[in-house]
C-alpha cells in the first residue's frame, strides 16, 4: 500500500509514481513525466538525483564535444532517415489514392485520397488561419501528425495550443528542439525528453561525460533553439524495423537500450527535425516555427532510469509558447510563486520553524498556532451544523490493530514502530482503524446511522528525511479527518453533503475546484454489484451537485480501460472503443441525442477498496492541489467485521465507510493558504488582526486601554508603544500584515474613538469602539 502524499491518503493499488501525482509547485519542482520521448518504449524515465547542484562555470562547448564524431553521427542518422523515407514515399506513390471520406466534428464530410491527403490539407481547405494554428490532429480517436497522410475514412479533429492535446504536443515537440540544441552545443548523448505535465513544459535528459550544465549555459542553448525555430524544420515521420532503429542509433547506448526493450510487435517510429533524428512515438507539431518563444528553466542532475547505480545524467527543463507574451506571463508567474514560498513567508511572519532534532515535525510559534487553531475551530463549528461528532482516539496501538487493518502488511515501513513490554506497537499514520474500534465497541443499530466521527488526531508517517519539504511533506501532522459509517442506501446523500461541505469551505478560502470520479480498477476487492451500486450513487450525487465534472480527453481508441459514463440519468460502462463505435465524440458529447458525461477515470489509481471522488483545488496562482478526500470503503468494515442491526433486529448488516477530509493535512493546507494569500491573511483567520499606534507618548495610556478592550472582545491585537514616528509605526504595521491599524491621538482619546486604517489602503475613518467591534463582527461572520 502506498501513500498519496497529496491528500495523505493510502492507496493500496497505486503505482510507485503515485507519490508524484500531486502538484509539487509549493517546492517549485516540475511534475513527473506523462509521455516520454523514445517512449515508443513506454518505459524509461529518469528521476532527479539528490544532491547539490554544481555551480561551476560552463566551459566552452568545444572543450567537451568531439565535433568530428558529432558530424559523422548526425550525417549518418540523417542519411539513413532519408533513405528509408524515400523508400516509404515511393511505395505510397504506387498506391493510387482511392477516395476516402473525412468527417469533421460539425458533421461536414470532405473527400480526400487514401495515403495522400493529410489533416494539414483539410485545414488549408477550411482556412489559412486554421492551417497556421492547428498543431495536432486526432484521427478516429488517435492523435495524428498534421502532415501524416490519412489511411482510410476518418473522423477528424484538429487541436490548437489552447487544447490540452495541442499544448502537450507543442511541449513534447519543443523537447526535440531542446534535444537538438543540447546535442549540437555539447555533443551529449540524448536519453529521454518528455513533456512534463499540463502547464509545466518539458525536459531532456542527456549524458555529458563529466560536463555539468547550469543557468549560465541557458543563453547558448536558447540561441541554438531559436536558430532551429528560424529554420522552420518540419517534423518528419518514418516507420522502421528494429534492425533499422538499432542501426540509426548504434552510437547511443541509451537509445539502443530502449529499442531492445520494445515489445516484439511494436511499430517503431523515428522522427526528424533538422539535424536531430530521434526515436519517438510522436506525434508532433508540423514544424519548429510554431515555437515562437522558448526558454530554459532549470538544469539539474538525474540518473538514467532514475536509478542511482546507473549513469549520471544532466536534465535541462524548458518551457515554450506560441508567442512571447505568454512566455513573459509564465516567467512572471514563476517569480510570483517564489515570492510566495511558504517557507519564506512563514519565517518572515514568525509563524513556524523546523529543528534538526525533530526532522519533519513543525514547531508552530504563537502566531502560527493562532492560524492552525482557527482552521480547526472553523471545522468544529461546521461539524456542529453538519451532524458530525468529534472524538479523541489513541496515538499508539498494538501492531495487532495494524494487522487487522492491513497496514502491517503493506505500510509498515512508513510507520514508526517500537517495542513496549516485549510487544510491538506503532504510532498511528491514520485514524480509520481507531474509528473502527470505536464503532465496534458496542452493539450498533441502524438508527445510529449515518454515524459521522471526526478526529483531529496527531498522525505520524515515516517519511525519508531527504524527502521532507517545509509544511508540504512532514512526519507529524493532523488531518481534519472524519469517517462516516452508513448504509448503502445512504451513500448518495452522504456524498452530496460532503461535496457541499467541500464547496462551502473552498468558497471561504477563495479556491475554485474540479471533480473527478475514480471507479473500479481492473484489480478490485469485493462484489461487483456493490461497486456498481456505489459508483452509481457517486455519479448521481455528483450530478445532483450540479457542478461540471472533469471530462477526460485522452486517446479513447487506444485505451482499453473501462470507462464509466452517464447517459440521460443512467450510468453505463464501456471502454473507449465501445464509445467510439456508438457515439460521435466531441466536446458536446452527444450520445443518441442524450447528454453524456464521461466520469473521469484515473487509470490504475482507483483505490481498490472502493470508488472515490478526486477534488482538485486551484489557488490564486491557478496552481492545482489535491487536498480533500472522499473515498468509499467496503473493505475496512469487512476486516473489522463491523455490523449493525437492521430494522429486523435479528438481521445484521455491514456498514459502508466513507473516509473524508476537507483540508486534508492541516499542515499542508496551512502552507497552501499562506501562499494563496501571499501572507495577507483575511481578518477572520489572521494572527495579527489589529494594532493600536499612539501618535505620541501623550496618548499611550489611551492606546493601552483600547488594546485591552479589543483583546477582551476576543481579537488578536497589539500596541506599538515605541517612541518612533507615527508614519513609521503605520508602515511597519502594514508590512507585518495587521488587518487594521488603529491610530490614536489626543483627539481620539478625548472622544473615545479610533482612527482606522486598513492594511492595504491609504484611507482612514474615525469611529467609536462600538462601531469598530460591529465592523469586526461582520468581517468575521462573512469570513473576510
Q: Please identify every residue annotated as catalytic.
A: 432, 461, 479, 481, 483, 612, 659
DSSP state of 203: E
In the complex, what is the shortest distance from the CB of residue 194 to Zn ion, in angstroms, rounded to a whole number? Answer: 9
| 615 exposure class (CB count in 10 Å sphere: 0-12, 13-18, 19+) | buried
Q: How many CB atoms lie within 10 A of CB 98?
A: 10
DSSP state of 477: E
In the complex, what is the shortest distance from the CB of residue 483 to Zn ion, in angstroms, rounded to a whole number? Answer: 5
Closer to Zn ion by CB, 485 or 585: give it: 485
Among residue numbers 306 through 345, which ones bind Zn ion (CB under 5 A)? none
In the complex, what is the shortest distance from the CB of residue 269 to Zn ion, in angstroms, rounded to a whole number? Answer: 9
In the complex, what is the shortest distance from the CB of residue 432 to Zn ion, in angstroms, rounded to a whole number? Answer: 3
In the complex, what is the shortest distance from the CB of residue 39 to Zn ion, in angstroms, rounded to a whole number? Answer: 9
Write the CB contacts of 780 (distance below 8 Å, at least 6 apart in sequence): 683, 684
Provide the 3-class DSSP secondary structure of residue 530: helix
In the complex, what is the shortest distance from the CB of residue 680 to Zn ion, in angstroms, rounded to a whole number? Answer: 34
Q: How many CB atoms lie within 10 A of CB 616?
A: 19
659 near Zn ion (CB under 5 A): yes
Q: Which three cell numbers stand for residue 683?
A: 481578518
Closer to Zn ion by CB, 257 or 562: give it: 257
Question: CB of 460 within 8 A of CB of 359?
Answer: no
How many residues make up the chain in this entry? 784
In the complex, what is the shortest distance from the CB of residue 15 to Zn ion, in angstroms, rounded to a whole number? Answer: 21
Question: CB of 437 within 8 A of CB of 402?
Answer: no
Stretch that binds Zn ion, among 137-145, 278-286, 358-366, 404-412 (CB under 5 A): 278-286
Question: CB of 38 within 8 A of CB of 252?
Answer: no
What pairing do the DSSP bridges indicate for beta strands 396-398 and 423-427?
antiparallel
Stretch that binds Zn ion, among 276-284, 466-474, 669-677, 741-749 (CB under 5 A): 276-284
Q: Which three cell numbers stand for residue 206?
A: 542527456
Write the CB contacts of 88 (distance below 8 Å, at least 6 apart in sequence): 238, 239
The helix (H) or strand (E) run that includes residue 719 is: strand 717-719
Distance (Å, rounded) from C-alpha 487 to C-alpha 654? 8
Closer to Zn ion by CB, 224 or 272: give it: 272
Provide the 3-class DSSP secondary structure of residue 365: coil
Closer to Zn ion by CB, 279 or 673: give it: 279
Question: CB of 730 within 8 A of CB of 759?
Answer: no
The helix (H) or strand (E) run that includes residue 707 is: helix 700-712
Number of residues that bind Zn ion (CB under 5 A): 4
224 φ/ψ angles, rounded to the nearest 5 degrees: -65, -40
Binding mask 190-229 for Zn ion (x = CB under 5 A): ----------------------------------------
Distance (Å, rounded) from C-alpha 590 to C-alpha 318? 38
Distance (Å, rounded) from C-alpha 629 to C-alpha 480? 10
Closer to Zn ion by CB, 171 or 702: give it: 171
Distance (Å, rounded) from C-alpha 320 to C-alpha 169? 11
Residue from 218, 405, 244, 394 nearest 314 by CA: 218
Stretch that binds Zn ion, among 425-433, 506-514, 534-542, 608-616 (CB under 5 A): 425-433
Binding mask 25-44 for Zn ion (x = CB under 5 A): ------------x-------
Question: CB of 563 within 8 A of CB of 579?
Answer: yes
Stretch that binds Zn ion, among 402-410, 505-513, 574-582, 651-659 (CB under 5 A): 651-659
Write the CB contacts of 358 (distance below 8 Å, at least 6 apart in sequence): 476
Distance (Å, rounded) from C-alpha 251 to C-alpha 429? 50
Stretch that binds Zn ion, among 203-211, 280-288, 352-360, 460-468 (CB under 5 A): 280-288
Among residue numbers 550 through 609, which ones bind Zn ion (CB under 5 A)? none
Nearest-10 Cα torsion for 283, 285, 286, 290: -170
Stretch that binds Zn ion, among 116-124, 360-368, 464-472, 652-660 (CB under 5 A): 652-660
Closer to Zn ion by CB, 280 or 345: give it: 280
In the complex, what is the shortest distance from the CB of residue 172 to Zn ion, in angstroms, rounded to a whole number? Answer: 5
Q: What interhelical angle do 700-712 and 769-781 show, nearest 10?
A: 40
Q: Which three cell numbers stand for residue 264?
A: 516484439
In the complex, what is the shortest distance from the CB of residue 623 to Zn ion, in angstroms, rounded to a whole number? Answer: 26
177 near Zn ion (CB under 5 A): no
Among residue numbers 33 through 92, which ones bind Zn ion (CB under 5 A)? 37
Distance (Å, rounded) from C-alpha 319 to C-alpha 200? 7
SS (H, E, C) 50-100: CCCCCCCCCCCHHHHCCHHHHHHHHHHHHHHHHHHHHHHHHHHHHCCCCEE
Closer to Zn ion by CB, 145 or 155: give it: 145
725 φ/ψ angles, rounded to the nearest 5 degrees: -65, 150
Question: CB of 515 within 8 A of CB of 503?
Answer: no
Stretch that binds Zn ion, among 141-149, 302-310, 430-438, 646-654 (CB under 5 A): 430-438
Among 123, 280, 495, 589, binds Zn ion (CB under 5 A): 280
Closer to Zn ion by CB, 123 or 280: give it: 280
In the complex, what is the shortest distance from the CB of residue 37 to Zn ion, in angstroms, rounded to a whole number? Answer: 4
Write the CB contacts of 481 (distance below 8 Å, at least 6 apart in sequence): 430, 431, 432, 454, 455, 456, 457, 659, 660, 661
Closer to Zn ion by CB, 659 or 729: give it: 659
Closer to Zn ion by CB, 25 or 280: give it: 280
Closer to Zn ion by CB, 143 or 345: give it: 143
Q: How many CB atoms lie within 10 A of CB 746?
A: 13
How many degrees, rounded to 5, is the angle at CA 365 between CA 360 and CA 368?
Answer: 90
In the complex, what is the shortest distance from the CB of residue 655 to Zn ion, in angstroms, rounded to a whole number? Answer: 14
Closer to Zn ion by CB, 11 or 349: give it: 11
In the complex, what is the shortest distance from the CB of residue 10 to Zn ion, in angstroms, rounded to a whole number? Answer: 8
Closer to Zn ion by CB, 432 or 663: give it: 432
In the complex, what is the shortest distance from the CB of residue 736 to Zn ion, in angstroms, rounded to a whole number? Answer: 39
| 394 exposure class (CB count in 10 Å sphere: 0-12, 13-18, 19+) | exposed
Stretch that binds Zn ion, among 424-432, 436-444, 697-705, 722-730 (CB under 5 A): 424-432
Among 2, 184, 432, 451, binds Zn ion (CB under 5 A): 432
676 near Zn ion (CB under 5 A): no
Distance (Å, rounded) from C-alpha 237 to C-alpha 265? 19
List contacts with Zn ion (CB under 5 A): 37, 280, 432, 659
Amino acid at each position: 500500500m502506498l501513500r498519496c502524499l497529496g491528500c495523505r491518503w493510502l492507496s493500496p493499488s497505486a503505482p510507485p509514481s503515485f507519490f508524484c501525482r500531486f502538484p509539487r509547485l509549493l517546492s517549485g519542482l516540475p511534475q513527473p513525466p506523462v509521455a516520454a520521448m523514445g517512449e515508443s518504449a513506454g518505459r524509461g524515465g529518469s528521476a532527479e538525483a539528490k544532491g547539490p547542484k554544481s555551480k561551476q562555470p560552463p566551459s566552452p562547448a568545444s572543450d567537451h564535444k568531439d565535433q568530428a564524431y558529432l558530424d559523422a553521427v548526425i550525417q549518418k542518422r540523417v542519411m539513413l532517415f532519408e533513405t528509408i523515407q524515400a523508400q516509404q514515399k515511393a511505395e505510397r506513390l504506387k498506391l493510387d489514392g482511392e477516395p476516402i471520406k473525412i468527417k469533421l466534428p460539425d458533421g461536414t464530410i470532405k473527400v480526400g485520397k487514401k495515403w495522400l491527403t493529410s489533416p494539414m490539407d483539410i485545414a488549408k481547405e477550411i482556412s489559412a488561419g486554421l492551417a497556421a494554428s492547428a498543431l495536432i490532429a486526432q484521427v478516429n480517436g488517435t492523435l495524428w501528425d498534421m502532415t501524416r497522410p490519412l489511411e482510410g475514412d476518418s473522423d477528424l479533429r484538429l487541436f490548437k495550443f489552447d487544447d490540452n492535446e495541442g499544448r502537450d504536443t507543442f511541449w513534447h515537440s519543443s523537447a526535440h528542439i531542446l534535444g537538438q540544441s543540447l546535442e549540437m552545443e555539447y555533443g551529449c548523448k540524448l536519453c529521454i525528453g518528455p513533456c512534463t505535465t499540463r502547464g509545466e513544459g518539458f525536459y531532456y535528459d542527456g549524458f555529458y561525460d563529466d560536463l555539468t550544465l547550469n543557468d549560465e549555459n541557458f543563453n547558448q542553448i536558447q540561441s541554438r533553439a531559436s536558430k532551429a525555430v528560424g529554420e522552420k524544420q518540419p517534423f518528419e515521420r518514418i516507420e522502421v524495423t528494429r534492425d533499422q532503429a538499432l542501426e540509426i542509433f548504434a552510437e547511443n547506448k541509451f537509445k539502443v537500450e530502449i529499442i531492445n526493450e520494445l515489445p516484439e510487435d511494436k511499430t517503431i517510429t523515428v522522427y526528424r527535425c533538422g539535424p536531430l533524428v530521434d526515436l519517438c512515438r510522436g506525434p508532433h507539431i508540423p514544424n519548429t516555427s510554431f515555437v515562437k518563444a522558448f526558454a530554459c528553466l532549470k538544469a539539474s542532475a538525474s540518473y538514467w532510469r532514475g536509478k542511482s547505480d546507473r549513469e549520471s545524467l544532466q536534465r535541462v527543463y524548458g518551457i515554450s509558447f506560441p508567442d512571447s507574451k505568454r512566455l513573459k506571463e509564465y516567467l512572471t508567474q514563476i517569480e510570483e510563486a517564489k515570492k510566495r514560498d511558504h517557507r519564506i513567508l512563514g519565517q518572515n511572519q514568525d509563524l513556524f520553524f523546523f529543528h534538526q532534532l525533530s526532522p519533519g515535525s513543525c514547531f508552530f510559534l504563537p502566531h502560527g498556532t493562532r492560524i492552525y487553531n482557527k482552521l480547526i475551530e472553523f471545522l468544529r463549528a461546521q461539524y456542529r451544523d453538519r451532524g458530525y461528532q468529534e472524538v479523541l482516539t489513541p496515538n499508539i496501538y498494538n501492531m495487532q490493530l495494524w494487522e487487522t487493518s492491513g497496514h502491517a502488511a503493506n505500510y509498515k515501513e512508513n510507520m514508526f514502530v517500537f517495542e513496549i513490554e516485549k510487544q510491538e506497537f506503532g504510532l498511528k499514520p491514520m485514524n480509520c482503524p481507531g474509528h473502527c474500534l470505536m464503532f465496534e465497541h458496542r452493539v450498533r443499530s441502524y438508527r445510529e446511522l449515518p454515524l459521522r466521527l471526526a478526529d483531529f488526531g496527531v498522525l505520524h508517517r515515516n517519511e525519508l528525511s531527504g524527502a521532507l519539504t517545509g509544511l508540504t511533506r512532514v512526519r507529524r501532522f493532523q488531518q481534519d479527518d472524519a469517517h462516516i459509517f452508513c448504509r448503502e442506501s445512504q451513500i448518495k446523500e452522504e456524498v452530496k453533503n460532503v461535496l457541499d461541505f467541500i464547496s462551502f469551505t473552498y468558497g471561504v478560502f477563495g479556491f475554485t475546484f474540479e471533480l473527478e470520479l475514480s471507479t473500479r480498477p481492473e484489480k478490485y476487492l469485493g462484489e461487483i454489484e456493490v461497486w456498481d451500486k456505489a459508483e452509481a450513487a457517486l455519479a448521481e450525487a455528483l450530478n445532483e451537485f450540479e457542478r461540471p465534472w472533469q471530462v477526460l480527453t485522452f486517446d479513447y481508441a487506444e485505451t482499453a480501460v473501462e470507462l464509466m459514463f452517464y447517459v440521460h440519468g443512467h450510468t453505463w460502462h464501456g471502454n473507449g472503443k465501445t464509445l467510439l463505435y456508438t457515439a460521435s465524440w466531441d466536446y458536446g458529447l452527444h450520445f443518441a441525442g442524450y447528454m453524456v458525461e464521461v466520469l473521469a477515470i484515473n487509470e490504475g489509481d482507483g483505490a481498490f477498496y472502493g470508488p472515490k471522488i478526486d477534488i482538485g483545488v486551484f489557488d490564486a496562482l491557478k496552481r492545482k492541489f489535491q487536498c480533500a478526500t472522499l473515498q468509499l470503503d467496503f473493505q475496512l468494515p469487512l476486516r473489522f467485521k463491523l455490523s449493525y442491526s437492521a430494522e429486523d433486529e435479528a438481521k445484521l448488516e455491514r456498514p459502508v465507510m466513507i473516509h473524508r477530509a476537507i483540508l486534508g493535512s492541516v499542515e499542508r493546507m496551512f502552507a497552501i493558504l499562506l501562499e494563496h494569500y501571499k501572507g495577507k491573511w483575511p481578518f477572520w483567520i489572521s494572527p495579527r488582526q489589529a494594532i493600536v499606534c499612539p501618535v505620541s507618548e501623550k496618548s499611550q495610556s489611551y492606546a493601552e486601554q483600547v488594546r485591552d478592550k479589543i483583546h477582551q472582545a476576543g481579537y488578536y491585537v497589539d500596541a506599538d508603544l515605541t517612541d518612533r514616528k507615527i508614519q513609521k509605526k503605520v508602515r511597519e504595521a502594514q508590512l507585518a500584515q495587521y488587518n487594521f491599524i488603529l491610530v490614536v491621538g489626543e483627539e481620539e482619546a478625548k472622544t473615545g474613538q479610533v482612527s482606522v486604517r486598513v492594511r492595504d489602503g491609504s484611507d482612514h475613518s474615525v469611529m467609536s469602539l462600538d462601531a469598530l467591534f460591529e465592523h469586526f463582527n461582520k468581517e468575521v461572520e462573512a469570513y473576510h
